[in-house]
C-alpha cells in the first residue's frame, strides 16, 4: 500500500476537513484519508496513488497543497 502525506494550507474548521476528505476520497486508488487540521496535513493511503490526482482533489476542495512530505 502506498502512503503519502501533504502539507495543506487554508483549512480552518471541521467543514474544511470534510471537504478535503470528500474530494480526496474520490480519487481512484485512495483507500484512506486522514486530515490533521491543527498540523495542516493530509495523509493518503491506497494502491497506485497518483500524486497529481490527489493534489488536484485538494485544490478542487479549495485549498493549497505543497509538495508531499516524508511519511
What is the domain count for the chain? 1
In tens digits, the chain (71 residues) has pLDDT values of: 899 999 999 999 999 999 999 999 999 999 999 999 999 999 999 999 999 999 999 999 999 998 777 77
Domain hosting residue 49, numbered range: 2-69
CB environment 41-58: b (16+ within 10 A), e (fewer): bbbbbbeebeeeebbebb
- pTM comes to 0.91
CB environment 13-37: b (16+ within 10 A), e (fewer): eeebbebbbebbeebeebeebebee
CATH number at residue 39: 3.30.70.100
Amino acid at each position: 500500500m502506498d502512503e503519502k502525506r501533504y502539507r495543506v494550507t487554508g483549512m480552518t474548521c471541521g467543514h474544511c476537513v470534510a471537504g478535503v476528505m470528500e474530494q480526496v476520497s474520490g480519487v481512484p486508488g485512495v483507500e484512506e484519508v486522514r486530515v490533521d487540521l491543527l498540523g495542516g496535513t493530509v495523509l493518503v493511503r491506497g494502491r497506485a496513488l497518483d500524486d497529481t490526482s490527489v493534489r488536484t482533489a485538494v485544490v478542487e476542495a479549495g485549498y493549497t497543497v505543497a509538495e508531499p512530505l516524508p511519511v
